[in-house]
Amino acid sequence: MIVRRSTLPKVLLFLAAFVFFSANTVYFLEADTGALTAAATLNNDTYHFDFDHLPDSKPYLNTKAAILVDYDNGQVLYAKGADEVRPIASISKLVTAMVVIDNNVDLNKEVSITKEDAHRSSRSRLRVGYRFKVLDLMYCALLNSDNRAARALARATSGTYEDFAKEMNRKVKQLGLKNSCFYEPTGLDKRNVSTAHEVAKILHYAYEYPLIKKITSTKRARVKVANRKRTYIQLANTNLLIYSPYKVLSGKTGYIRAADYCLTSLVKNKAGERLTLVVLGVPGDRLRFRVARKLIDWGYRQI
């Protein structure tokens, strides 16, 4: 990404605005939107995967669908039900984040959590009436997979969840994804569907956004409740691969009963080799990470 000389002071101010509470815990004092809201050139290229050189032997995985792709050349190393349309739960939030950024929503804008946001939202520490900056809501939605945050972001962007879902569908259509469809921004609706194949592409496109890349590769952060003095909320990445020997470059977890446990991640080993992983329909929370590790370990042996 090229930084123009006139924008350099703003970038430096943004970097100076970090306060480190621990090696892995960060709270953002202020956000300069310029460096983070634009997709990194978001070139007009589309991602195509090569399914023509799949290995003859592959590991057994306790998952309904999966794909493993060499990020750097697009070669598919493993595929199981890769084009089967399935609910993807909170992986939907990657598309939510892209739409928010595409609409140039001010990251410093404050948004309140409403009763509508909280309705059947699953567990959340974002109480009705709390106000947060859009940037902090992005952290809550992507890092901690908070559904109230995703709904608040949708309202801040499009006014209603329904109009925002239309934006999500326009986005995936623009990306050439024919089997991905969204009815709301969180993934709680089982009609939010895609395929392992297309989820891998969604992750690749999301990785081109500096802000999404930054948030989803962070272990922990904390955000401030804007209308409460000295009130902060600690966040932890739900993607436990971030504690593995591999560097997580981006990713997202998901779970609803209809989808079972889901995960997508882009990881890098010490040699700099990058793999994109998707597992959908794993019958267990921790099991999805064991399945993911098994597949990643196997994949690196292939390349």
Determine how β-strand 220-224 pairs with β-strand 25-28. Answer: parallel
Of the residues 90, 180, 250, 265, only one is catalytic, namely: 90
Q: Count, in order, helices (H) and strands (E) of the chain.
A: 10, 13
Q: Rounded to whole angstroms, how far apart are CA atoms 91 and 115?
A: 24
Active site residue 90: yes
What is the biggest distance separating any 2 CA atoms in the chain, rounded to whole angstroms? 60
Of the residues 124, 145, 180, 217, only one is catalytic, namely: 145
Q: Rounded to whole angstroms, how far apart are CA atoms 266 and 244?
A: 13
Active site residue 145: yes
Of the residues 93, 201, 224, 252, only one is catalytic, namely: 93
The dihedral through the CA atoms of 76, 80, 86, 92 has a sign that is: negative
253, with CB counted inside 10 A (0-12, 13-18, 19+), is buried
Q: Rounded to whole angstroms, how far apart are CA atoms 261 and 70?
A: 23
List residues with catalytic annotation.
90, 93, 145
